[in-house]
Chain A
Amino acid sequence: MAEPLLALQGVSKRFGSLAALSDASLDILPSEVHCILGENGAGKSTLCNLIFGVHVPDHGTMRFHGKQYHPAGPADALANGIAMVHQHFSLVHDMTVVDNVILGQERGFVNTRAWSQRLEHLANDYGFALDPNAKIEDLSVGERQRVEILKCLIREPRLFLLDEPTAVLLPDEISALLDICRRVTESGCAVVLVTHKLAEIKKAADRVTVLRGGRVVARSDDPAREIDALVSAMIQGDLKSLDKSAASALGVVDGDGDHSHRTGGFETPRREAVQIDGLTVVDGHGVTRLDNFTLSIGPGEIVGVAGVEGNGQSELAAALSGMTAPSSGRIFVGDLETTHLRPKDLTAAGVGVVPEDRHAVGCVLEMTVAENLFLNRLQAFTSFGFLRRKELMRAARELMTRFDVRAASPEVAFAALSGGNQQKAVLGREITLPHLQFLLAAQPTRGLDVGAVAAVYGHIRSACTHGAAVLLISSELDELIAVADRIVVLYRGRIMGNCAADPSERERIGALMSGHAQ
């Protein structure tokens, strides 16, 4: 075995009472793609942050190139040749690509042209094109990520950390990214790829380390063959017991997912549960963001909305959830017109909303889990304006058990929960609305791990079997095919086509997503 580039020995990190990482040991070899696999809260990000110097380990040692390595901060890690792409990008939107790359790397006078040329060469070396003078705000999410990657690669790192890089990418962007990872290793640099998607491991990983509950629970030098064992270690269960839709959406198995809820009593809807007529949203600049969106959803039906992000999905969700007034068009839920209802009245009418941006719209991070679980109906826990805290706590505990929201108590801050648990809490709140008629779920599984994804699908389906209509907006085509009954494709605010949710339609949907009508 080659001399490891980075060796972690018994590394531990606690945050308060939470052991984020316990006694973790692993070796990263030169020129390898090393995947860190684990569910949310398993300690993957903590591990990266320790290596990148964001946090200091409580115990254990790190050796880099055989020497003791104690980074004092990210700047120190960078100076040592360790670079990291974070889950959330750190780019200045109204600056150009090259300016963003130069930021933090140069002092005094700046030769922008020389940097542009270097950047273009580098991009070419890795097999993609990128205009150094393009503004970040004009780039797609995938392109922005490439800028982040170039920002790192231009420093010629020896160890390259990527924290959940594929969560925001389209299918072909993901495979392009994995190609880039492979190429990076050709120069002797090691790549650490944090993921919970098994398809990526099959494609790209040389070796895998699996974390669960902050501990290393499995390792593999031949991940493609041992994938089943790795999954079992990650979720502490059997792959066969995994929800079929979740498995297919994550690329573990091929297939059509589980549409068993379709055999419920709602196969031929008697009347529409939700009727959207010519919904149009024009933004403040006079640009039509959503154009004449017309759709009806039957009770117990799941309709998927496919499309590359930024093609009107956010505006559709905002209009349906009472956050934006539509410019024209009407919305009916049952017999009630809800077009201009405020969020409060929509909640009363039985419209549940799982917003796309969980942190900005779905919750108040600084408040407690219990308060967030009932944020839209706290009135139910008051007498004469006073909160009945005990009752709220009891109800919160019940909901936490039912939706498997894991937290020390209902009184901890919502921010202390992992992303998956936050999403389960938001979903739990919206699905348990009294008289739920319509559930709008936008990107409900973004950034979640296998277990949480399966739980989310299960809850959405159970809402259906109780007769609610569901609109599922997602940029993950696999997810839509696995979960929805039928799919409409949005392109530049218009519905490009109506498709069956069937794997055989994948190509046609892909074409519609890029604007090619048939």
Chain B
Amino acid sequence: MTDLAADIIRRLSGALRPSVAISVAAVLVAALVGVGLIFALGVSVTDAIAAFIDGTLGTPYAIAASINRSIVFALVGIGFVIANRANLVNVGGEGQIAMGGIAATAVALYGHVGDLPAGLAFLLPLAAATIAGTVWGSIAGVLKIKAGTNEVISTLLLSFIAVWLLYWCVQSPQLLRKPMTSSATLPESLEISDPTKLPLLTGDYSFPLHIGLPVAAVITVVAAVVLTRTLFGLQLRAVGFNPIAASRAGISYSRMVMISLATAGSLGGLAGGLMLLGEQYVLKDGFSSGYGFDGLVAGLLARGSVVGVVASALLFGFLRSGGINMEMVAGVPTALVMVIQGLIVITLAGAAFFMGRRT
């Protein structure tokens, strides 16, 4: 009997690749610490968990909202993984989302797209968001190729610029701020018109899952196939592992850097567009909500696997919803979710450190 048990354990651990095992372990460790912290706060752990589950799975609305959020994380995370194949680290998701939001708002409000047929009313703003993200990602690529600027620095600083550009846009009536009718007019844009809002899959506002879901699903499949089955995916890996040998073999380093950072940017921009056209409808300060960094963590946790990104994006999407409800119902600060995410990153980094030492 014990032999059988040992055999099952061996098979299971063989099936789970070490990277998956590490990610799962990191999540479990972080969750345990989270429960410990709730306990330390003096809140009933069962109440908190009940509130958490209610906030994630309790209502159709909660489920749809969590999935919509996961879509954003997944897109940013996939962009992170693509750039990471070329050994680049894109930490600019936040800024790429902001640029996508600005572009989507501008086109939706002032692009005269409201009357266009065949979904162009929302597709054009979405395309504009994607292009804006692409441009933002490409700037980091150009800086890397022409000046050797580390992309971690450039994408992060570009994020600050984008976030403040967004602030400027919603503060200034000449830009995207809604007309000032009184001194109480909020610094935000007008609400976009109904035709430019993303259609809901069910058409039912109590389950507001929008067409971002199929879009993200297609992108996930395409990204996974491109990375694992195509020459491009192989060349990206070659450049990531050994840029000198790759360039001797005729693979252009500049081209790979540009394509991967631009793609990561485009997915960030698209995510921003989906957020604005699918949920928020109004551009305001704090629009990007830190989702760029959540997406980055999702990419990090996936350890290079596109399928892994989907899993970790769903995890974080539901984690956020549950966290919000825990605060409202059980009085546990949402900051706890941030703590758990931070713990996951540290556990992962620590595991990588110890794995590196062992070999």
Which residues of A are in contact with B by a Cβ distance under 8 Å? 321-323, 342-344, 347, 353, 355, 360-367, 371, 375-376, 378-379, 381-382, 385-387
Contacts and interface: CB of A to CB of B under 8 A. Distances in A.
Nearest to B229: A386
A interface: dominant SS = mixed
Interface in B221-256: 229-232, 234-235, 237-238, 241-242, 244-252
Interface centre among B230, B234, B244, B250, by most chain A C-beta atoms within 10 angstroms, is B250
Contact of B238 (A343, A362, A367, A386): A367
A323 B229 contact: no
Nearest to A348: B250
Contacts of B229: 386-387
Contact of A360 (B231, B237, B244, B251): B244
Given A360-B244, A366-B237, A378-B235, 4 more contacts: A361-B244, A371-B234, A386-B229, A387-B229
Interface centre among A353, A364, A379, A385, by most chain B C-beta atoms within 10 angstroms, is A364
A364 to B, nearest CB: 5
Contact of B232 (A323, A353, A364, A385): A385
Interface residues of B, number: 19
Nearest to B239: A364
14 contacts: A342-B250, A343-B249, A344-B251, A344-B252, A353-B248, A360-B244, A364-B241, A365-B241, A366-B237, A366-B241, A375-B246, A378-B235, A379-B231, A385-B230
B357 to A, nearest CB: 12
B241 A367 contact: yes
Contacts of B235: 378
B284 to A, nearest CB: 42
A382 B229 CA distance: 10
A371 B249 CA distance: 11
- Top-10 shortest CB links A-B: A344-B250, A375-B249, A376-B249, A366-B241, A364-B242, A382-B231, A364-B241, A385-B230, A343-B250, A364-B238
Contact of B231 (A342, A362, A385): A385
Given A382-B231, A385-B230, A386-B230, A360 B249 contact: no
A386 B234 CA distance: 10
Contacts of B230: 382, 385-387
Interface in B31-75: none
Nearest to A374: B249
A323 B243 CA distance: 12
Given A364-B238, A364-B241, A365-B242, A321 B248 contact: yes
Given A364-B242, A366-B241, A387 B234 contact: yes
A385 B227 CA distance: 11
Interface in B191-234: 229-232, 234
A362 B234 contact: no
A73 to B, nearest CB: 12
A367 B237 CA distance: 8
A353 B244 CA distance: 14
Contacts of A381: 231
B250 A360 contact: no
Contacts of B232: 385
Contacts of A363: 242, 245
B63 to A, nearest CB: 37
Contacts of A344: 250-252
Nearest to A387: B231
B245 A323 contact: no
Interface string B134-166: 000000000000000000000000000000000
Interface in B245-296: 245-252
A353 B245 CA distance: 11
Contact of A323 (B242, B247, B251): B247
Nearest to A384: B230
A18 to B, nearest CB: 15
Contacts of B234: 367, 371, 378, 387
B247 A364 contact: no
A364 B246 contact: yes
B121 to A, nearest CB: 33
Contacts of A386: 229-231
A343 B247 contact: yes
Given A371-B234, A379-B231, A387-B229, A361 B250 contact: no
Interface centre among A321, A371, A378, by most chain B C-beta atoms within 10 angstroms, is A378
